[in-house]
Structure 1
Amino acid sequence: MAKPKSGAKKATPAAKKDKAARLELLKNASERVAKAATKVAKAVKEKVAEVAKGKAPAKAASKAPKGATPKSAEAKSEAKAEPKSEAKAEPKTEAKAKTAKAEAAPKAEKAEKAEKAEKAETPKAAKGATGKGKAAAAAPAAPPLEKPRPRATKLPPVGSSLTKREMEQLLSAGEGRGVYGEGSLKGRLAVTDGMPYLVVVGRDKRELTFLLQGPDQEVLPAYMDHKVSVSGLIRKTTNYGGTVDVRKYSAKKPEAEAPSAPVETEAKLRYLSPGETSMVTNAGMGAGIKGFASLRGSLEMTGEDFVLVVSNGGTRQQVSFILEGKGTKGMRKYVGQQLFLTGVVEKSSGWGGKVVVENFEPRPTEARVSREDMEIVHVEGEVPTSVDVRLNHGLTVRLQEQPGFTWAIEPTAAKRVGLREARFEPGEGNAGTREFFFTPRNPGTSELEFFLAKAFTPGAVERSFKITVTVKP
């Protein structure tokens, strides 16, 4: 038989039983420690999850026992579980087993106590946190403390009165710094940062500001925007203001200005431009134009009114203006002549309006068509008839007018028969006569119709009559 190495004794059956008991004890202790560590790790994980969701404050999770984090618990369980697998390979001594058992029991008890304490502290911490939050929300924020402003409440002794020169310096902006003395000031009361100031209009209309001091300093702000007069010791501390120690004051409420009724102002008249003047003198244009202008035309009369014909005389497109104003004095002797006048022109329709004459000047009458060496056919009165006229010779038609009306023909007929003149001849009283003078240029037979219509309203026809004109070569 081989001898045992290094003098080791052969194991007996009693020693084998003792070894198996030790291994069983160690195994049971390791299992209890592993279970306790697993419970602690599980509880810590649940608390961490609740904190993450907002169910419990973070402080509750931080109160877990040292070494009870998931990693440390797993590490302990692994470390304690290692002997379970190695127990068969490497048996430990009885002393080591007792020591491990003694160490494992207090650790398990500490873990259970820590878990119970954590459960008890978690609701307390939550209650404390919510209670603090409610208390903080319920308590109103304290208003910021205002530092009391220094106010002068005592009046200085009476000083010498200000002279006229000093008063001028006092009320001059940009000078007078250092002037002081007894006097009085008037101005408007303004309040800045709770302090009353008197705004005084100086000599050059610039404003000066004086701080009002004295026992009435607390009362004066009630008269803001009032007209205030103060008397006391005046000091000009800067070139644009100073202080007043008020001994007496009086305040007057500013009078409310009554709303003034809007005054209707006439639009300012202007000189008409050349383009506007041209529109005024043309038929069917410029209605509503008003302004200063100079016009030239033939002076006529309708009843007692003077009329200036400026274009298309004798046709139903005649443009004429009634002349009014003081400038019309002395016009009667110029009827039938050319006038140049200046005044306020107002064109009310396409065929005329009125002119307020300021001044006028007679102009030489335009050269009339020579009637010498012409065979002229005359027609008098409103008698429908037929006449024969030689080519390039003359035809005259004389018609009696009545006040407010004028005789006229169509523009196309005037062009066809060759209208050269339509002259107004004043008669006795208010009556007048209009003479139409034609020089036919084209042979043939045509019909001429004459209309008696209202002045300035060619469409309002009173009556008419026709004549037949035969032009022979």
Structure 2
Amino acid sequence: MAKPKSGAKKPTPAAKAGAKPAAKKDNAARLDLIRNASKKVATAATKVVKAVAEGAKGKVAAAKKAVAEKVEKAPAAAKKAAAKAAPPAASAKAGKAAPAAKAAAAAPAAGKKGAGKAGGKSPPMVPAGPAVEKPRPRATKLPPVGEPLTKREMEQLLTAGEGRGVMGEGSLKGRLILSGELPHLVVVGRDKRELTFLLQGPDQEVLPAYVDHKVSVSGLIKKTTNHSGVVEVRKYSAKKPEVEEVAPPPADTEPKLRYLSPGEVSMAVAAGMGAGIKGFASIRGNLEMMGEDFVLVVSNGGTRQQVSFAIEGKAAVKSLRKHVGQTLQVTGVVDKTSGWGGRITAETVEPRPSEARSVSRDEMELVHIEGEVPTSVDVKLNHGLTVRLQEQPGATWAIEPTLAKRVGLREANFEPGPNGSPATREFFFTPRNPGSFEVEFFLAKAFTPGVVERSFKINVTVKP
């Protein structure tokens, strides 16, 4: 056994026994400090939870502040007590003090977590304020200058139903309106239909002040659909609409005459159509007389669908008598008052060569009937039948159009009487179908064939 060195004292049993109680006292003191700090932290956390549940924002902030201050003071107090209790044995007790410090730091963290969980379960009842409307996005930047619109592209742009995708620099005029708080330009297109263009650019905030004004804009035009588009406005000008006073039209002012289109002329000479048409035109027909008046028959002569016009004006002179029964070209103002005719104020009258007869009467057996005599006659197939009747002023003789086709009406010739005697009308038939037919003749008014004065019938038997 090694001997102790000289001058060194051996540790006594009493000293060894006394060291253990001192270490236990130090540990107990530290544990008491930690317990006290944890209790204080738990108490502060409970207050925080109650304050959050009550919904008092100010109390919650104060409690949190108090917790933070107490948590900061507790570790500091613990550190001071530990330093006073065992200054000589600091190095030996460093390993045990580290877990204690960790526990002390974990305690306030646990208190904060508990407060957070409690706050999540019962959120504060704070009244929600009115929703703030976000400003709508506005186009404030202009794109670079594009290619100018061509004439063809401009026509497509202003045509409703066409031009989708057309884009280029140009200008538009129209009326400014607001749609969805954004300015739009309403433009009247080529076919009188309206097109709508959204106005964008730096002036978009200013343009709503010119609602219902006449606005002219220039810039990059894009037609996004067939009926609308977008304009990046580079320049604009607005004009306040002037209130126009509508003056009452003069009572004696006649509507301005115009030239009738070919379609309107066709309606004017067709039976049962075009009533009310009035305008300048040139029509062709056969000249007849009704008493002392001249009448131009333009279609369906000799039937109850005859269309005729009374000739008036400076060209209706007595010298026209020599052209009765001939074809004339009359130019003037046509006024069709009913579906069966009207009047024409003639400016010029030009004779035209009469059309050649479709059927020649040579080498044809003719059966002739004179006057209003109800009778029965026999006619050979493809031969002729003539009926001559006396005309009366204001009225004319006619047959039904369907019967005219069945019996084969070829001509209805007006013949003026010699030396002032009454005029006559000759009906010329060439039957094409064998059988028996009842032909009825009506004396009706010239321009209203529905009004009949009298009628008579003849029976025609067509033999092969």
Structure with higher Rg: it is: 1
Q: What do residues 185-226 of structure 1 show as CA deviations (whole Å, max 9, x unaligned)? A: xxxxxxxxxxxxxxxxxxxxxxxxxxxxxxxxxxxxxxxxxx
Equivalent residue, structure 1, for 2:446: 455
Label 1:463 to 1:73 Cα distance change in 2 as closer, same or farther (>3 A).
farther
Equivalent residue, structure 1, for 2:341: 352
| Distance in structure 2 (CA, Å) of the matches to 1:453 and 1:33 | 135
Deviation (angstroms), 1:319: 1.9
CA contact (8 A) 2:311 2:345 kept: yes
Q: What do residues 261-308 of structure 1 show as CA deviations (whole Å, max 9, x unaligned)? A: 243786654433334433433334444444332111111233454321
Equivalent residue, structure 1, for 2:437: 446
| Distance in structure 2 (CA, Å) of the matches to 1:469 and 1:313 | 22
- TM-score norm. by structure 2 comes to 0.51
Matched, 1:402 2:388: no
Read off the aligned partner of 1:11 and give its amino acid letter.
A
Equivalent residue, structure 2, for 1:327: 315
Matched, 1:413 2:403: yes
| Distance in structure 2 (CA, Å) of the matches to 1:388 and 1:48 | 129
| Distance in structure 1 (CA, Å) of the matches to 2:305 and 2:456 | 18
Equivalent residue, structure 2, for 1:314: 302
Label 1:10 to 1:36 Cα distance change in 2 as closer, same or farther (>3 A).
closer
Label 1:303 to 1:74 Cα distance change in 2 as closer, same or farther (>3 A).
farther
| Distance in structure 2 (CA, Å) of the matches to 1:291 and 1:439 | 39
Deviation (angstroms), 1:394: 3.7
Pairwise CA RMSD of aligned residues? 4.8
Equivalent residue, structure 1, for 2:159: none
Choose the corresponding residue for 1:434, options 398, 401, 425. 425
Read off the aligned partner of 2:38 and give its amino acid letter.
T
| Distance in structure 1 (CA, Å) of the matches to 2:244 and 2:401 | 62
Deviation (angstroms), 1:28: 7.5
| Distance in structure 2 (CA, Å) of the matches to 1:429 and 1:303 | 10
| Distance in structure 1 (CA, Å) of the matches to 2:434 and 2:420 | 41
Read off the aligned partner of 1:381 and give its amino acid letter.
G
Label 1:417 to 1:67 Cα distance change in 2 as closer, same or farther (>3 A).
closer
Read off the aligned partner of 1:453 and give its amino acid letter.
A
Matched, 1:387 2:370: no
* Structure 2 portions without partners, runs of 5+: 90-241
The 5 A counterparts of 1:228-377 are: 259-263=245-249, 268-330=256-318, 331-367=320-356, 371=361, 375-377=365-367
| Distance in structure 1 (CA, Å) of the matches to 2:67 and 2:384 | 140
The 5 A counterparts of 1:115-264 are: 259-263=245-249
Matched, 1:6 2:15: no
CA contact (8 A) 2:44 2:67 kept: no
CA contact (8 A) 1:303 1:403 kept: yes
SS of structure 1 residue aligned to 2:9: helix
Read off the aligned partner of 1:263 and give its amino acid letter.
P
Read off the aligned partner of 1:384 and give its amino acid letter.
P
CA contact (8 A) 1:304 1:430 kept: no
CA contact (8 A) 2:45 2:67 kept: no
Label 1:306 to 1:285 Cα distance change in 2 as closer, same or farther (>3 A).
same
SS of structure 1 residue aligned to 2:58: coil
CA contact (8 A) 2:383 2:431 kept: yes
Deviation (angstroms), 1:460: 2.9
Q: What do residues 367-421 of structure 1 show as CA deviations (whole Å, max 9, x unaligned)? A: 4566565554332221101123445544321222333322111233333433232
CA contact (8 A) 1:403 1:431 kept: no
| Distance in structure 2 (CA, Å) of the matches to 1:66 and 1:384 | 133
Equivalent residue, structure 2, for 1:55: 57
Q: What do residues 89-112 of structure 1 show as CA deviations (whole Å, max 9, x unaligned)? A: x9989xxxxxxxxxxxxxxxxxxx
Label 1:77 to 1:345 Cα distance change in 2 as closer, same or farther (>3 A).
farther
Read off the aligned partner of 2:342 and give its amino acid letter.
G
- TM-score norm. by structure 1 comes to 0.50
| Distance in structure 1 (CA, Å) of the matches to 2:314 and 2:47 | 111
SS of structure 2 residue aligned to 1:446: strand
| Distance in structure 2 (CA, Å) of the matches to 1:373 and 1:24 | 162
| Distance in structure 2 (CA, Å) of the matches to 1:273 and 1:392 | 41
Deviation (angstroms), 1:440: 3.8
| Distance in structure 2 (CA, Å) of the matches to 1:24 and 1:373 | 162
CA contact (8 A) 2:283 2:330 kept: yes
Deviation (angstroms), 1:451: 1.4
SS of structure 1 residue aligned to 2:451: strand
| Distance in structure 2 (CA, Å) of the matches to 1:356 and 1:263 | 25
Q: What do residues 228-273 of structure 1 show as CA deviations (whole Å, max 9, x unaligned)? A: xxxxxxxxxxxxxxxxxxxxxxxxxxxx999342437866544333
| Distance in structure 2 (CA, Å) of the matches to 1:28 and 1:372 | 157
SS of structure 1 residue aligned to 2:41: helix
Q: What do residues 35-92 of structure 1 show as CA deviations (whole Å, max 9, x unaligned)? A: 543354345545766589762278746754986337x746966997999xxx9xx998
Equivalent residue, structure 2, for 1:117: none
Read off the aligned partner of 2:349 and give its amino acid letter.
F
Read off the aligned partner of 1:312 and give its amino acid letter.
N
CA contact (8 A) 1:396 1:437 kept: yes
| Distance in structure 2 (CA, Å) of the matches to 1:410 and 1:65 | 117
Label 1:51 to 1:327 Cα distance change in 2 as closer, same or farther (>3 A).
farther
Equivalent residue, structure 2, for 1:41: 41
SS of structure 1 residue aligned to 2:38: helix
| Distance in structure 2 (CA, Å) of the matches to 1:299 and 1:314 | 13
CA contact (8 A) 1:302 1:430 kept: no
Label 1:258 to 1:421 Cα distance change in 2 as closer, same or farther (>3 A).
closer
Taking every aligned residue pair, what percent have the same amino acid on both sides? 63
Equivalent residue, structure 1, for 2:412: 422
Deviation (angstroms), 1:342: 1.1
